[in-house]
Amino acid sequence: MPELGESVTEGTVTQWLKKEGDSVEADEPLLEVSTDKVDTEIPSPTSGVLTRILVAEDETVEIGAEIAVIGSADEAQTGQGQPAAEEPAASPEPAASEPASSEPEPSPEPEPSPAPAASAPSSQETQAPSQPRAEAPAAERPSETGATADTAPSVDIETLSGAGQQAGTDAVTEAYVTPLVRKLAADEGVDLSTVRGTGVGGRIRKQDVQRAAQEQREQRERATTEPTARTGATPAEPARRVVPDTTLRGRTEQMSPLRQSIAEQMAESLRVSAELTQVIEVDVTNIARLRERLGEQFLAREGVELDFFPFFAVATVEALKTHPKLNAVIDSTKYEVTYHNVENLGVCVDTDGGLLAPVIKDAGDLNLGGLARKIADVTSRAHSGQLTPDELSGGTFTLNNTGASGALFETPIMIQPQVGILDTGAVVKRPVVVEDPNLGEVIAVRSMVYLALSYDHRLIDSSDASAFLRSIRERLEEGAFESELGLS
């Protein structure tokens, strides 16, 4: 079992993409593994033949445990030769005893014939005419071509009746869908025949079902609700109405591995850290005007929408550089503090399976456009289940976008071992008192947002948190992003 990311100690084999005896190439997908953070395909580390599978599907083992053996073709033939020789020796015994106790059947004769592969075609050709029914040749054809029992029903699909055709189709579907995926599809009400598989050979994966379920929910929302204007939602987390799942009423079920991980990490964070939350209000009217003027131009140039969230990200990363206390880690056993020299920005994404926080490495080296593209990319892949374990670890500070759901703000819980997390609320227009150079204090309609910073009081005091938030507010209210948007 390979390394699957920071702090991940075990993985569950959800599906083998190859079976014993199959040839594999280096870097070819070999199996699927699930952890408490992400599901991912594991590539083969070398080329050869998969001679043995040591860990069954749905079995959980620790990182570093031996899960399979890949050998040379010669080793595979040697290892598989013994079982092949034993099977014909075992099969003639019942075949010989059956005629003694019952009437002779022509069917026992073709059973040993598939064993010698080289002579099988000639022997079967001579026996086929003597069969009184067509079923025997149909059963023999899979052995001639090397087809397995699972795929045998598909051989005669064209000659079967309508009911038989349906059975054959179901058998084909079974070969590409794991029990876990079938259960998920049933729970989500997804018809597997309408799902396009993105796995090897068109295999339907869990992520394909989740994507189909999300599309169904969005279709229902569009059919039952009126479109609403977006007020600060990000490209990564579009504003959406959550349709209540009434099927959960009266049900008892096991929490998913991701949900269990979230529960443990959040409870541990509150146990370990002395967490406080400080909230400020920011006027982002200047940014709102920039978005109105340059939004279409930015979209054409960068390929993503110019939303508020990338501005929040830029201001946060810049503030981390001048306030390193917020970009640190505490070693509780030694009472040591390490201040990071990079800004790896985590971005919370609310997926159907639970909350994930993919990390944008070296965010401090990116400009507004670069951060916007990165945020859109990792968020999209978080929803489609395409994140790698490494992308879910290594964060030094995290941003949480509560505003995507329309909430004004919340008090977020830090992700250990980080010492801070910033929550961005919904951007809303409302009347506020502002200072006009000619008229003095006046009431004007402004675009306002709340920023809530949760921090570890073991290292950070209230004055430190206030200074950090003030830096972000000044940067946002100034709104001087023209150079990064292609304006002088």
Catalytic residue list: 457, 461
Position 420, amino acid: G
Q: How far, in Å, CA of 111 to CA of 140, rounded?
A: 9
Cα–Cα separations (whole angstroms), residue 81 to 77, 116, 170, 176: 6, 12, 33, 29
Nearest to 276 by CA among 409, 408, 420: 420
Residue type, 199: G
* Residues β-bridged to residue 277: 454
399 forms beta bridges with 347, 422
Task: Quote the tokens at residue 397.
Answer: 């500070």
Q: Please, what sign has the CA dihedral across residues 282, 284, 286, 287?
A: positive
Instruction: Assess contact for 456 and 330: CB atoms under 8 A.
Output: yes
Cα angle 439, 441, 444; round to 5: 95
Secondary structure (H, E, C), the chain: CCCCCCCCCEEEEEEECCCCCCEECCCCEEEEEECCCCEEEEECCCCEEEEEECCCCCEEEECCCCCEEEECHHHHHHHHHHHHHHHHHHCHHHHHHHHHHCCCCCCCCCCCCCCCCCCHHHHHHHHHHHCCCCHHHHHHHHHHHCCCCCCHHHCCHHHCCHHHHHHHHHHHHHHHCCHHHHHHHHHHCCCHHHCCCCCHHHCCCHHHHHHHHHHHHHHHHHHHCCCCCCCCCCCCCCCCCCCCCHHHCCCCCCCCHHHHHHHHHHHHHHHHCCEEEEEEEEECHHHHHHHHHHHHHHHHHHCCCCCHHHHHHHHHHHHHHHCHHHCEEEECCCCEEEECCCCCEEECEECCCCEECCEECCHHHCCHHHHHHHHHHHHHHHHCCCCCHHHHCCCCEEEEEHHHHCCCCCCCCCCCCECEEEEECCCEEEEEEEEECCCEEEEEEEEEEEEEEEEECCCCCHHHHHHHHHHHHHHHHHCCCCHHHCCC
